[in-house]
Chains A and B, each alone.
Chain A
C-alpha cells in the first residue's frame, strides 16, 4: 500500500520512498521527513476531489499531491480511521 491510497484519518509506518536516490522529488519528500520508519497520518484533504492532501509526519504538517504521495510505501497501515 502507498500513501496516495490513504483516506482521511488513516495512519501507518513508512516502509520506503520509491524512486532513485538522486531523484529530486524523492529527495525532497525525504527531506520533509517522509523517511523510512517515520509514522505518517493523513489529516486533511483539499476540496474538489481530496487532492492534494496534508499529512502529519515527524511533528510537521506537509502538503503534497497524491501523485507524489504514491512514492511513499506504507507498512502496517491502520484500518481504523480516527474520527
Chain B
C-alpha cells in the first residue's frame, strides 16, 4: 500500500476529505489509508472532533486526509452536520477547502447510504465513492454492476474492504485522477444541495430516495440477503426480558474488570513509581529540589497514572461495544429509564464510565449528538462515584462504621454504608438531571432516533488505534493540569518551613495550613476543624490525596501503606465525632473536588461557564448536604 505518514511535514498541502453516514466503516477506512497515525483535536470554536492524517498517492502526491464527522445529510441540523457541510464548502476558518472528496457508503446498506452521496455530488467538489464493507455485502449475496452504478450515480465507484486493504490502491488512483483534473470541471455547486432552501428539504429527501431506488434498480443484479446473525443476536439481546438481563451481565463483567483486573497493573505502576521516586530521592541531596521531585512531581503524576489501567480498560470496553454495534442497542434498552429524568438513552454509557473516573465520562459524552443532552450529562457526570473516592470512603468507613452483621449476617454494616454512598451518588445525579430538565434546560424532549447497525466483529487494529488516541488525550489533558497543580500544591504544603523546634507538624506552618485555618470558620458548621480544611486543600487536585494529607496533618508516621492507613483510622476515630465523619462522607459524595474534571469540562464545552457552573453547584450541594448531615447526626446524639 502506498500509504505513508509524514507527521508535521510542511509539504502537505492538498486536503482531501472522507464523508459518509455513521457506521459506514469510515473510521476503519481512514485508519487503513493513513496507517492509523493521526492528529485528533477539535474544530476551532466547537466541540466536534477533528481527525486528520497524512497519505501519499500512487503518483507521489502528499495529501492530508480529513475524517469528517459521520452524517446522514448535509442539512446541518446538528453541529456535526454543520461542520461537515462547512468544511466541504470551505467555510470553516482555518480549514482549506478539500480538493477532492472520498464519499464512503456501506455496501451492505446501499438503499440508505447512497442518498448522502447524491448530496455530496452536488457540492461541486470532485467525488469518488468508496463502496466499503464490500466483503460483507458479497458474503450476503449482493451482486452489483459497478459500471452501471458509476454511470447512473455520475461518480466513479471503487469497492473497498478497509480492514483487509482491498481496493485502497484503486481508490487512491482515482483520487490522483480527480486532483489532476482541471479545476471547475466537476459539477458546479448546487445551492439546493447546500441546505439553503428550508421548505424544499423534505421534498429533496424524498427525491433523493426515489433517485437511489432508480439507480439501484439498474445496478443491482442480485439483492442482498437479510443478516440472519444480526437478527438472531437481536432476538436475544433486544428481548424485553433476556435483553435486559444480557445488559446487566455485560455491565457486571465490565465493572468486575475495571475494579479487579485493573488493580494488578495499577499496583505495579504505583510500586514502580514509588520505588523510582525513592531511588531518585536517595540519589539527590536532601533539600527543596529532592522534595519537589519526589513529593511533588512523582507523587502527583503517579496519582494520575495509577488510573491509567482502569481508564484504558474502560475505553476498551466502550470501543468494543461501539465497534460491535451493541452500544446503540444499550441506548435503546435504557432509553425508557433514562428518559424518565429527561436524559438521553445514550447518556447511559458516559454516566457508567463515571464510576471509574469523571474524565473519561465527560469525554465519552461525545457520542450524544444534541448539545443540550450532552451538557446535562456532563453536568451530572461528576456525581457518579469515581474510583478516586474509594480510598477516602474506605478510610472513613473503617474508622467509624462498625463491622456489624445486618439482616442476620447476610450483609455487614460497612458494606451497606459503602453501597449507600454509591447509590446516593447516582440518586442525586438523577434528581439533578430531573431538575435541570424542568428549569434551565426546559424545552423539547430530545428524540431518540438512531440506527441499530448490523453486528460486526470488532477489528483489533482499529480498536488499538482508538484506544491509543483516547489514552493520549487523557494523559495529555489530565497529566498537564495535574502536573502543574501537584507542583503548586507541593509548594503551598511545604512552604514556609516550620520554625526550629516547632511543636506542631510542619504543614501547620505552611500556606496550606494557613489556608486551612482561614477557612475553618466556613467549615465549622459542618463539624470540620482546620485539620480537615488543610487536607481538603490538596485533595482538590485528586480526591484520594485526602488520605495522605490527613496522615500528614495528624503526623501519622509512614511505613507500610496499609499499616499507615490503619493507624490513621485509629487516630481519626479518637479525634472526630461520628457526626463529623458522616458529614465528610456526604461532602465527598457531592463535592466537585477534582480539578482535572473541571479542566476536561472546560475543554469539552469550550467555555469557562460550564466548569464554573459545575464547581459552584456541586460545592453548594456538598456544603448543604454535609451541613444537614452534621446537624441531623448531632441532633441524634452522635456529635
The answer to whether A and B interact is: yes
Binding site for B on A (CB under 8 A): 17, 20-22, 24-33, 35-36, 38, 43-52, 54, 58-65, 67-68
User: Which residue of B201, B202, B448 contacts A64 across the interface (Cβ within 8 Å)?
Assistant: B448
Q: Specify which of A22, A61, A65 is in contact with B451 (CB 8 Å cutoff).
A: A61
B residues 203-252 with Cβ under 8 Å of A?
A: 203, 205-206, 209, 224, 226, 230, 234, 238, 240-241, 243-244
Task: Please indicate the chain A residues that have their CB under 8 angstroms from the CB of B64 in the complex.
Answer: none
Q: Which residues of B contact A52 (CB under 8 A)?
A: 332, 335-336, 345, 448
Contacting B201 at CB < 8 Å: which of A22, A29, A60? A22
Cα distance, A65 to B449, chains bound together (Å): 8
A63 and B332 contact, CB distance less than 8 A: yes
Majority secondary structure of chain B interface residues (helix, strand, loop or mixed): helix
Whose C-beta in chain B lies nearest to the C-beta of A17? Answer: B202
In Å, the complex CA distance between A66 and B134 comes to 34
Question: Measured between C-beta atoms, what is the minimum distance from A55 to chain B in Å?
Answer: 10
Residues of B within 8 A of A62 (CB): 449-452
Among A17, A38, A49, A63, which residue has the most Cβ atoms of chain B within 10 A? A63
B231 to A, closest residue via Cβ: A43
Enumerate the 8 nearest inter-chain pairs by beta-carbon distance, A residue then B residue, closest first. A21-B202, A61-B452, A47-B240, A44-B238, A58-B111, A30-B205, A31-B72, A63-B332
Residues of A close to B72: CB separation below 8 A: 28, 31-32
Choice from A27, A30, A59, A67 contacting B109 with Cβ under 8 Å: A59
Complex Cα distance, B234 from A47, in Å, reads 13
Determine whether the beta carbon of A30 is less than 8 Å from that of B112: no
B202 touches A27 (CB 8 A): yes
Does B302 make an interface contact (CB < 8 A)? no
Chain A residues near B205: list those with CB within 8 A.
27, 30-31, 35
A46/B333 in contact, CB under 8 A? yes
Which residues of the partner chain B approach A45 to less than 8 Å between Cβ atoms?
240
Cα A74 to Cα B100 in complex, Å, equals 41
Q: With both chains docked as a complex, state the minimum distance between the C-beta of A3 and any C-beta of chain B, in angstroms.
A: 13
Residue of A at shortest CB range from B325? A61
A58 CA / B238 CA spacing, docked (Å): 20
Q: Check B75–A60 contact: CB distance below 8 A.
A: no
B460 interface residue per 8 A CB criterion: no
Q: Does B435 contact A (CB under 8 A)?
A: no
Q: Which residue from chain A places its CB closest to the CB of B444 in the assembled complex? A: A25
B336, A24: Cβ atoms closer than 8 Å: no
List B contacts of A67 (CB < 8 A): 445, 447
| Cα–Cα distance between A30 and B205 once the two chains are bound (Å) | 7
Q: Which residues on A sit within 8 Å (CB–CB) of B337?
A: 48
Is the CB–CB distance between B202 and A30 below 8 Å?
Answer: yes
Within 8 A of A (CB), among B80-123: 108-112, 115
**Knowing A27-B202, A47-B333 touch, does A35 contact B209 (C-beta < 8 A)?**
yes
Ordered by A's residue number, 16 sampled pairs between the chains whose C-beta atoms are within 8 Å are: A25-B447, A27-B73, A27-B201, A28-B77, A30-B209, A31-B75, A33-B112, A44-B238, A48-B240, A49-B336, A52-B345, A58-B209, A59-B111, A60-B112, A63-B449, A68-B448
| Number of interface residues, chain B, beta carbon within 8 A | 45
Among A17, A44, A46, A63, point to the contact of B328 (Cβ < 8 A).
A63
CB distance from B611 to the nearest CB of A (A): 29
> Does B502 make an interface contact (CB < 8 A)?
no
State whether A36 and B449 are in contact (beta carbons under 8 Å apart), knowing that A45-B240, A52-B336, A63-B328 are contacts in the complex: no
Decide: A36 and B202 in contact? CB cutoff 8 A: no
Q: Which residue of A lies closest to B333 (CB)?
A: A46
Residues of chain A within 8 A (CB-CB) of B499 are none
Is the CB–CB distance between A21 and B112 below 8 Å?
A: no
Interface contact B449-A32, CB-CB below 8 Å = yes
Contacts of B224 in A (CB 8 A): 59
Please name all residues of chain B whose beta carbon is closer than 8 Å to the beta carbon of A36 when the two chains form the complex. Answer: 206
What residues on A are CB-neighbors of B206 within 8 Å?
30, 35-36
Q: How far is the CB of B148 from chain A (nearest CB, A)?
A: 20
Please name all residues of chain A whose beta carbon is closer than 8 Å to the beta carbon of B241 when the two chains form the complex: 47
Contacts of A61 in B (CB 8 A): 230, 234, 451-453
Inter-subunit contact B335/A22 (CB<8 Å): no
* Cβ A33 vs Cβ B111 within 8 A: yes
Nearest CB of A to B513, in Å: 54
> How many Å lie between the Cα of A5 and that of B448 in the bound state?
17
Look across to chain A and name the residue whose beta carbon is closest to the beta carbon of B241: A47
A20–B240 CA distance with the chains assembled, in angstroms? 34
Q: A24 CA to B72 CA in the complex, in Å?
A: 13
Which of A24, A51, A59, A65 gathers the greatest number of chain B CB atoms within 10 Å? A59
CB distance from B38 to the nearest CB of A (A): 28
Provide the bound-state CA to CA distance between A46 and B450, in Å.
14
Q: Given the complex, which residues of A lie within 8 Å of B453, measured CB to CB?
A: 61
When distances are taken between beta carbons in the complex, the residues of chain A under 8 Å from B333 are 46-47
B residues less than 8 Å from A28 (CB atoms): 72, 77, 447, 449
A59-B112 CB under 8 A given contacts A28-B72, A46-B240? yes
How far is the CB of B254 from the nearest CB of chain A, in Å?
A: 20
Beyond A21-B199, A28-B72, 18 extra complex contacts between A and B, CB < 8 Å: A21-B200, A21-B201, A22-B201, A22-B202, A28-B449, A32-B112, A33-B112, A44-B234, A47-B244, A47-B333, A54-B238, A59-B226, A60-B109, A61-B234, A62-B452, A64-B447, A65-B335, A68-B449
- Chain A contacts for B450, CB-based, 8 A: 62-64
Instruction: Find chain A residues with CB under 8 A from B77 CB.
Output: 24, 27-28
A27-B75 in contact (CB<8A): yes
Chain B residues within an 8 Å CB radius of A20:
202
Chain A residues near B209 (CB-CB < 8 A): 30, 33, 35, 38, 58
B198 within 8 A of A: yes
Q: Assuming A21-B200, A32-B112, is B449 touching A47 (CB within 8 A)?
A: no
Question: Please, which residues of chain A bring their CB within 8 A of the CB of B445?
Answer: 67
Question: Which residues of B are found within 8 Å of A33, using beta-carbon distances?
Answer: 111-112, 209
Contact present for B332 and A22 (CB under 8 Å): no
Does the CB pair A47–B452 fall under 8 Å?
Answer: no
Q: Closest Cβ of chain A: how far from B3's Cβ, in Å?
A: 31
A73: shortest Cβ distance to chain B, in Å? 14
- Of A21, A25, A50, the residue contacting B203 (CB under 8 A) is A21
